[in-house]
Amino acid sequence: MSIHISADGRRFQLDTRDTSYQFHADKYGVLAHDYYGKRIPFEDLTDGEFFADVGFSGNPWDAGEERTYSLDTRLQEFPGYGCGDYRESAVSLAFSNGSQAADFRYESCKVMDRAWTIPGLPALWDTEEAPAQTLVVTLKERASNIRLQLSYAVFEAENVIARSARIVNDGAEAVYVERCLSCCVDYGFGDYELMIFPGRHCMERVPQRQSVGFTKQEVYSLRGASSHQMNPAMLLCRPDTTETQGECWGYCLAYSGSFIGSAQKDQRGQTRVVMGINPAQFSWRLQPGDSFDAPQAILSYSAAGFERLSHQYHDILRNHMCRGQWVHKPKPVVVNTWEAAYFNFDRETVMRLTKDAAKVGADMLVLDDGWFGHRDSDTSSLGDWYENTKKLGGTLASLSNAVHDEGLLFGLWVEPEMISEDSDLYRAHPEWALAIEGRPPVRSRCQLVLDMSRKDVRDYLFGRLSAILSGARIEYVKWDFNRSVCEMWSHLPGARQGETAHRWMLGVYELFERVTAAFPELLIENCSGGGGRFDAGMLYYSPQIWCSDNTDAVNRLDIQYGTSFFYPMSAVAAHVSVCPNHQTGRTVPLMTRTRVAMTGAFGYELDLGKLKEPERAQIARDIQAYKAREELFREGRYHRLTKPGERYAAWMYVSENRDKALLNVVMREAEGNAMPVKVPLRGLLPEASYRCSLTGAVHSGAVWMACGLTLPVIYWQYESETVEFERVQRG
């Protein structure tokens, strides 16, 4: 039983294996937050509450002269706007009389024996054999017939609580939902730090850690995408929390559109954390009888540092967010045409790349951008999803057959949500592009964005995608998205523009859903100019995501480090590219590029024909080596052993049964008379013995973890090493 309710039906505790979350409906029906942390017995925590008459913090009408009760100082589950709590709110409604307010009070609760699902939005899933329980608490707005249902799906073994909110209009007139976030958690005492994952194109998710103070620390996107610039995941921690010690709380939003997340201390030093859809692009008309659902926020807590928290997120996202047959299967080793040829290819090029890929033992040729319309640069043809038979020397089907004849699978790039002005589609339907009436639209990469809130647009795209996917043997699609959205304005007659941003996102998800349902065997790799939509929501539709357009192995160390805080390595697509690297000009040994790219979705992004024979031979060996270990990269526990900025980077994969481990070390810096690298290992069984592949030494896991491995060689800058540890019996 993971959900406990007190006999009076007003106190709730959600227990996972190691965590507890408690809240209650107080005497005024306000949902008050009590606790989120280490697992505790279910006991009444009311004695820990502290009430004081705090000047300029008003009191609700029903508290009469009780001046010590104020919503402005109360720890709450889902604070409303405009009713005496001046802090960040989770919900706000606009009424026909011009007022804006939301004051929800407890009405009832129920427990469901399955995980909560959200119509049209991604959400963690469970199974009949291993169900998750959901607590649903219903509240009613004091001055109207609007109800709020707060759902808490408890994934016990994974230490995860998934929250969402639904607003239902049971009244007789329309209201506008001006804000409906996904979660709020109030922390009564203590100092905290917030770790966030900002970045930019080609440098995504580089963590920053800062103290939570009285100014609001807000992460956000207004780009219509989760974005390169800020990831919709953040964690709160104690100032002394490290990888392996201390408390931390994760907040990860399963949403790929504009979002906010914030942490701020209030006047009394209490910390409020919220996360959800960005209210700046949101105003939703709720007609009588209608309901609105906020996306899911995935919460987790660890008392043992970031590593434990990351493992909890890796498990929940890989096993309960990703769907489809590819999640737990070896993914094909791909050779992608993008950095090999960009737009400059013909059938001969593709077949040459294919034959070279087959020779080194790769599994799939991926034809990237440039195969459709008359797209020989990024200035045209998006929307015209018809193959360029002249460039391809025939149909896609014939090309795909030719690739298959060489023993390879075939993958294809698409960018469905975009439209070029130079396209037949735009000439026929300029109104299908997002643009504010009377204003010229903002171009980015010379392209506009299709209005995905429109059914006719989605039907057209589904029609084209399904014709392409059923017209040729295509096992994989790289689904790209190469600009931020600017004008959230729909030309659809009667469109309510405050709803366009979210309706646009729902439209994108609907298209993904239709494609995945119609082509269940297809492997979709998500992409947005690299990692601009690397979020939990997208993992519902695609089990892997192109991590960054930056393929420089040294930059990738930091990008993949940041990505690993929330997202499993099975989802991280990484490729080996040529040197000097196309994004940074840096030259890094092939072996190091390969080691960094060996994640759950590995491949190459170069013209194998332009390499020297020894390099091709090396690649053939590397692919074999990868295949022999791919389960470890896909399903193994990932341990960050160093931080960006250190002399070397080190990380480990440990198999589920802890029989095998693989350590990678990359030298970031080099110096004269350097000391060797000494890395303490993690994740081994303390009492088991392990043999080191590099030195042959055998030690207990306890010794390897306490004393570490000293590498016997001094490495040059950008050189690297892989060391394997195998469990052995000691006589």
Quick one: CA torsion of 639, 644, 649, 654, rounded to 10 degrees?
A: 10
Catalytic, out of 85, 186, 293, 535: 535
Q: Nearer Cβ to ligand DGJ, position 116 or 476? A: 476
* Residues in 338-367 that interact with ligand DGJ by CB under 6 A: 338
Q: Nearer Cβ to ligand DGJ, position 338 or 541? A: 338
Q: Is 261 in the site for ligand DGJ (CB under 6 A)?
A: no
CB of 378 to ligand DGJ, least distance (A): 6
Q: Is 368 in the site for ligand DGJ (CB under 6 A)?
A: yes
Give residues with Cβ within 8 angstroms of 229, minimum separation 6. 198, 199, 200, 221, 223
Q: Nearer Cβ to ligand DGJ, position 199 or 529? A: 529
Q: Which of 207, 411, 530, 543 binds ligand DGJ (CB under 6 A)?
A: 530
Three-state SS string across 270-281, please?
Answer: CEEEEEEECHHH
Alpha-carbon separation of residue 445 from 127, 482, 533 (angstroms): 43, 7, 17
Q: Which of 681, 728, 619 is nearest to 361 (CA)?
A: 619
Q: Is 547 in the site for ligand DGJ (CB under 6 A)?
A: no
**Would you state the structure tokens that stand for residue 730, as one six-digit string?**
């000691």
Beta strands 334-336 and 601-604: pairing type?
Answer: parallel
Name residue 638's beta-bridge partners. 653
* Residues in 687-706 that interact with ligand DGJ by CB under 6 A: none
Q: Is 529 in the site for ligand DGJ (CB under 6 A)?
A: yes
Return the DSSP state at 536: H
Q: Which of 345, 413, 432, 718 binds ligand DGJ (CB under 6 A)?
A: 413
CB of 344 to ligand DGJ, least distance (A): 13
CB of 338 to ligand DGJ, least distance (A): 5
Contact (Cβ atoms closer than 8 angstroms) between residue 175 and residue 286: yes
Q: Which of 3, 123, 334, 527 binds ligand DGJ (CB under 6 A)?
A: 527
85 is catalytic: no
CB of 116 to ligand DGJ, least distance (A): 33
Q: Identify which range of 522-530, 591-599, 610-618, 688-696 contacts ligand DGJ by CB under 6 A.
A: 522-530
Q: For helices 590-597 and 553-563, what crossing angle results, to 10°?
A: 20
CB of 549 to ligand DGJ, least distance (A): 4
Strand locations in 307-400 (E): 334-336, 364-367
Give the distance, in angstroms, between the CA of residue 123 and the centroid of all CA atoms in the same chain: 12
378 is catalytic: no
CB of 452 to ligand DGJ, least distance (A): 19
Q: Is 373 in the site for ligand DGJ (CB under 6 A)?
A: no
Q: Which H/E stretch holds residue 235?
A: strand 233-237
Alpha-carbon separation of residue 427 from 194, 430, 435, 460, 488 (angstroms): 48, 6, 15, 15, 21
CB of 644 to ligand DGJ, least distance (A): 22
CB of 497 to ligand DGJ, least distance (A): 29
Give residues with Cβ within 8 angstroms of 498, minimum separation 6. 176, 281, 282, 283, 284, 285
Q: Identify which range of 24-32, 259-267, 425-433, 526-534 contacts ligand DGJ by CB under 6 A.
A: 526-534
From CA 420, how far away is CA 455, in angstroms rounded? 20
Q: Nearer Cβ to ligand DGJ, position 263 or 334? A: 334
**What region, left, alpha or beta, does residue 316 occupy, with left being phi > 0 and alpha being psi -120 to 50 degrees?**
alpha
Q: Which of 533, 571, 570 is nearest to 549 (CA)?
A: 533
Q: Nearer Cβ to ligand DGJ, position 77 or 339? A: 339
Q: Which of 512, 145, 150, 506 is nearest to 323 (CA)?
A: 512
* Residues in 480-509 that interact with ligand DGJ by CB under 6 A: 480, 482
Alpha-carbon separation of residue 408 from 36, 400, 632 (angstroms): 51, 9, 24
Rounded to a whole number, what is the distance in angstroms from the first to the last CA of the chain?
A: 45
Three-state SS string across 480-493, please?
Answer: CCCCCCCCCCCCCC
CB of 576 to ligand DGJ, least distance (A): 14
266 to 305: interface string for ligand DGJ, x by CB under 6 A: ----------------------------------------
CB of 548 to ligand DGJ, least distance (A): 8
Q: Identify which range of 457-465, 525-533, 682-690, 714-722 contacts ligand DGJ by CB under 6 A.
A: 525-533
Give residues with Cβ within 8 angstroms of 161, minimum separation 6. 14, 16, 19, 21, 152, 153, 154, 155, 299, 300
Which amino acid is it at 135? L
Is the N-terminal amide bond of 330 cis, ω within 30° of 0? no
Q: Is 549 in the site for ligand DGJ (CB under 6 A)?
A: yes
Catalytic, out of 615, 631, 659, 726: 615
Residues touching ligand DGJ: how many (CB under 6 A)? 11
CB of 546 to ligand DGJ, least distance (A): 5
Q: Which H/E stretch holds residue 545?
A: strand 544-546
* Residues in 424-483 that interact with ligand DGJ by CB under 6 A: 480, 482
Q: Is 525 in the site for ligand DGJ (CB under 6 A)?
A: no
- Closest-by-Cβ residue to ligand DGJ is 369
Give the distance, in angstroms, between the CA of residue 89 and the centroid of all CA atoms in the same chain: 24
Q: Nearer Cβ to ligand DGJ, position 366 or 402? A: 366
Q: Which of 564, 536, 540 is nearest to 232 (CA)?
A: 536
Q: Identify which range of 116-124, 392-400, 425-433, 523-531 contacts ligand DGJ by CB under 6 A.
A: 523-531
Q: Which of 519, 546, 561, 651 binds ligand DGJ (CB under 6 A)?
A: 546
CB of 630 to ligand DGJ, least distance (A): 22
**Would you state the structure tokens that stand for residue 321, as one six-digit string?**
């967010």
Exposure string of 389-414, with b = 16+ CB inside 10 Å and e = fewer, is eebbeeebeebbebbbeeebbbbbbb
Q: Counting Cβ atoms within 10 Å, is residue 650 exposed (0-12), middle (13-18) or buried (19+)?
A: buried
Q: Identify which range of 158-166, 514-522, 527-535, 553-561 contacts ligand DGJ by CB under 6 A.
A: 527-535
Q: Which of 26, 72, 369, 630 binds ligand DGJ (CB under 6 A)?
A: 369
What residues are labeled active site?
535, 615
For ligand DGJ, the binding residues (CB under 6 A) are: 338, 368-369, 413, 480, 482, 527, 529-530, 546, 549
